[in-house]
Amino acid sequence: MKIAIIALPTKDDNHLPPLTMAYIAAVLEQRRAIVRIFDRALDPLGGWEDIQRRLQTFQPQRVIIAGEDSHAIEQAVSHIHQTYPDILPLFAHRSGSEALAATASLLAWLNGVNTLPAQTGEELPYPARHLLSLEHYELRAPGGEVQTPVVIGWRMHNQWQLRPPRQICHEIRALVEEVGIRHLLFCEPELTIHEQWLDEFLDQLINAHFNIKWQAAVALDRLREDRIRQLAQAGCEAITFTLAATSVFDSASSREQARKLIAYAREQGIYTHATVLLEPPYESIARLVDVAATFGLNDVSFKLIQTLRVSDEEQQIQRFARQRYQEGRTRQRLIDRFGPALGGLLWQLRVEHLADDE
């Protein structure tokens, strides 16, 4: 049987390959199906005529349409249901963390029943990465090399179920030996979500000698210098975390501790990226951005929380935050190089010069 999987684009994470669909494809291949994944995120402006031509070439008996927007899924079904009536509309995120639930829906559809018992992570085959053109996605390590995501936890009933570290390491070994991948992304959940699990996972990575590099999300307030050393020893090349006004403005000591941890991570060769949450009141945004600019991060992005998502103002606020952050970084570099007094004076002269030019 031939089965086509159409992955729809999303608003936020199109840089990720559709790993959930790759898990589904692996299950189908186990059942001796011939599978193709067509990812519309690689060509979001392309028309459905192109998809129709590609489907006509492949000639599937069944089609799966997967995405995160029910309206987009409904529209996609309307484009092809007359030609391919056997369609499974599937609500699924790209990251792979919901592969267990998506696979249960798939098997129920294949077996013609309403529901099936949920699978455990131990039963799932590794995702069919050979069906994805990994190099065509924007997922890159800090040095520019191609990354691939690896699931470290399943999201079930709004809770995280962490995969056994040995199982993750078996998948990593397969990636290294069979696919030649050397850079990985553990995108969710945060690596620091469970202390004992993380100890075991890092120990296994260190003892496996994979010669890989990886990136993960962490909670900055759960890190210590000894943990950062352990991360680096296990191959961590980048960490990402969130900065919010509630965590940054709590106290001067918490801000200083964050600066020390970020500086120590960089000393260990770990790239640091923060997502700064911009939240009301508007007056706090400039202060939050100014504080973030003093942390010595390698990179930063800005995200508006839901209450600020108001039409065109979202992009305007993000542009303002980015400009303010770059100005703050320049000011901090002058202070670091020349000291607070002279650095501050040079910054003031720079501001006045730019104002005169305008």
User: What is the end-to-end Cα distance of the chain in Å, rounded?
Assistant: 66
Residue 325 to residue 313: CA distance in whole angstroms: 18
Residue 11 to residue 158: CA distance in whole angstroms: 21
Over range 50-58, report the average pLDDT: 89
pLDDT at 38: 94
Read off the pLDDT of residues 101-121 as tens digits, 9 standing for 90 and up.
888 888 888 887 766 555 666
Residue 213 to residue 142: CA distance in whole angstroms: 10
Over range 143-159, report the average pLDDT: 90
Read off the pLDDT of residues 205-237 as tens digits, 9 standing for 90 and up.
999 999 999 999 999 989 999 999 999 999 999
pTM summary value: 0.82
Over range 35-53, report the average pLDDT: 84
Read off the pLDDT of residues 62-78 as tens digits, 9 standing for 90 and up.
999 999 888 888 888 98
Residue 20 to residue 90: CA distance in whole angstroms: 11
Contacts 24+ apart (CB under 8 A), 306-310: 307/279, 307/280, 308/278, 308/279, 308/280
- Are β-strands 183-186 and 213-217 bridged in parallel, bridged antiparallel, or unpaired? parallel
- Are β-strands 183-186 and 159-162 bridged in parallel, bridged antiparallel, or unpaired? unpaired
3-class state of residue 73 by DSSP: helix
The string of DSSP letters for 327-342 reads HHHHHHHHHHHH-HHH
Residue type, 285: I
pLDDT tier, 354 (very low <50, low <70, confident <90, very high otherwise)? very low
The string of DSSP letters for 248-316 reads HSS-HHHHHHHHHHHHHHHHTT-EEEEEEEE-SSHHHHHHHHHHHTTS--SEEEEEE-GGG--TTHHHH
262 has a pLDDT exceeding 80: yes
pLDDT at 115: 64
- Token pair listed for 165: 């570290």
Among residues 235, 221, 114, 230, the alpha carbon closest in space to that of 186 is found at 235
Task: Give the full edge-to-edge strand order of the sheet including 183-186.
Answer: 148-149, 183-186, 213-217, 236-243, 271-278, 299-304
Residue type, 217: A
